Structure 1
């Protein structure tokens, strides 16, 4: 088998980062988003661990969090699994996820299972380099991660880690924010340019202050600011796009949050190809990355948002199981029964 993990340093080692704060932003108050409480995250991780153990994975590295999601999930497990915390000092902030992803990439674990939303995966993607991600949706908009049961995600991660999965990893694009020639941050879904001067509530859902939205991929059926691009940009290749908001064009009815459909005036839009950059002309401004206000820019000579094809490696659990069925990776030899 051409398993990706067979070429890595620890072929039976998998990482887990579960964000206890994911899915708890202000959009719960203004929309009808689903709630993934921490007890449910514990149950999801327990199913991931059970699947990894069934696939013969020997070791799981996990990031400690303020709720103890993985520790609670591991309580009472009868399967043999060496579960260890990532050896980094924890501040219980987003910085932990970034540092843990970098450490796991250095250790060359087979893949990293994440529990969170778009913001969680953006932080992980900053430092995970070529460490494949298996993202499980427990956030708000969940454009990047997959809404999939932990069992299926665990099976996919286990097949990859044990070298039984044909290579079906996908390289997804990312958006890079360059300020005066320096890479300031990245986004996996969209970058929104806002006139608001203060970060305030980090989550953004009101389009009235937004002048422009740049998306990494035009995908139908998404929720959030990327839904504006999906409504007005009929791209069959799912490439990127930049959308300018305001009167004088058309109006798109877009689901900016779960259960929240908003008419959004759109002046113009253009397709965006890899390695092309969009200049940001509104300065000062605030940039929202993947739906959350992150960067306040008061002064700059040049601000660019560049679409890069060199985003994170992603394992789609359903695609992984489809490929496993084709290759016979889930079949048990008669003598093993």
Structure 2
């Protein structure tokens, strides 16, 4: 039996940005339709099973009882508290320990960041299910499920059917390190609050592993200066100003239906492993993959660098382009 781990983030696609933009909430029924499409693709490969965590919100139980006719669903480790970012990281490790050969994760960039924090030895296949989905597969979910099962049963080299992701390493003054997949932002607020960042006047600096001009989020700002993609061995650093500086604004898509102006003072490409240091005299916070995560004291330095040492990320297009043998 070939085992595939499946994570559905119950909170993905429900942040405050969807209230200030023209975006609908990612409802529980829509997420389960995503799960049905994924499992339908996986079921095309014989002797495949799905393992999920028995989460507090009940997605695992729903999959077991409603989707079990498609292929075997196995639940592990019943949760007694609501899900959060830390639990997503823990789930990824549990699924690997349960024998999964790949972890399929449904959520946005924040969810995929949490999975990347698990330091998995097995690849991941991130499926778009959040507000910002730069790190995610946005193609057909049935094809993605089929590709995940084919990879698991064939044992392809992940570098031939995917890539090793870049990671933004955020080193704090106390020695603690945080990680991001797509973007880190130096933000004026000295609190985390509702986490999500969407107002341009809040952001002073951006450090991007990817700068995509067609996908929403802070990454979109850099996409108009220097499009930077997953295979590019560089990062992008932007310094931002405001409308008083006499510069023309860059219009960026921050969320579905939300276009806002950013005033960019400077932009530069940064080689992998080359550090960038930030600090603010008044203090502030660092947002990782669109969410304020770390609060900084006045003048507290934070060092950032991008390395290609992240998880292996599968590409369904490359998997399905290979001869289908199982």
TM-score when normalising by structure 2? 0.89
CA positional deviation for 1:274: 1.1
Q: Quick one: structure 1 residues 183 and 108, their matched pair in 2 at CA, closer, same or farther if it must change by over 3 Å?
A: farther
The equivalent residue for 2:311 is: 312
Conserved? CA contact 1:195–1:286, under 8 Å? yes
The equivalent residue for 1:110 is: 101
Show structure 1 runs of 5+ residues with no match.
Answer: 1-10, 331-337
3-state secondary structure, aligned to 1:244: strand
Conserved? CA contact 1:104–1:128, under 8 Å? no
2:118 paired with 1:127:
yes
Q: 1:64 is matched with which residue: 43, 49, 54?
A: 54
Could you say what the CA RMSD is over the residues aligned between the two structures, in angstroms?
2.3
2:35 paired with 1:45:
yes
The equivalent residue for 1:265 is: 263
CA positional deviation for 1:203: 0.9
The equivalent residue for 2:221 is: 228
2:236 paired with 1:241:
yes
Q: How many residues matched?
A: 317
Q: 1:155 is matched with which residue: 141, 146, 161?
A: 146
Q: Quick one: structure 1 residues 295 and 164, their matched pair in 2 at CA, closer, same or farther if it must change by over 3 Å?
A: closer
Q: Quick one: structure 1 residues 55 and 196, their matched pair in 2 at CA, closer, same or farther if it must change by over 3 Å?
A: same
3-state secondary structure, aligned to 2:154: coil
- 1:16-51 deviation line (CA, Å, top 9, x unaligned): 110111101111111112432110111111222232
Q: Distance in 2 between matches of 1:234 and 1:24?
A: 28
2:179 paired with 1:198:
no
CA positional deviation for 1:71: 2.4
Conserved? CA contact 2:39–2:70, under 8 Å? no
The equivalent residue for 1:297 is: 296
Q: Quick one: structure 1 residues 52 and 328, their matched pair in 2 at CA, closer, same or farther if it must change by over 3 Å?
A: closer
The equivalent residue for 2:82 is: 92
Q: Distance in 1 between matches of 2:54 and 2:297?
A: 36
Q: Quick one: structure 1 residues 266 and 328, their matched pair in 2 at CA, closer, same or farther if it must change by over 3 Å?
A: same
CA positional deviation for 1:316: 1.8
Q: Distance in 2 between matches of 1:115 and 1:253?
A: 29
- 1:118-142 deviation line (CA, Å, top 9, x unaligned): 1111111101423211111110111
Q: Distance in 2 between matches of 1:209 and 1:191?
A: 13
The equivalent residue for 2:162 is: 169
Conserved? CA contact 2:239–2:267, under 8 Å? yes
TM-score when normalising by structure 1? 0.86
CA positional deviation for 1:181: 6.3
The equivalent residue for 2:251 is: 253
CA positional deviation for 1:211: 0.5
Q: Distance in 1 between matches of 2:227 and 2:103?
A: 33
3-state secondary structure, aligned to 2:60: helix
3-state secondary structure, aligned to 1:229: helix
CA positional deviation for 1:81: 3.5
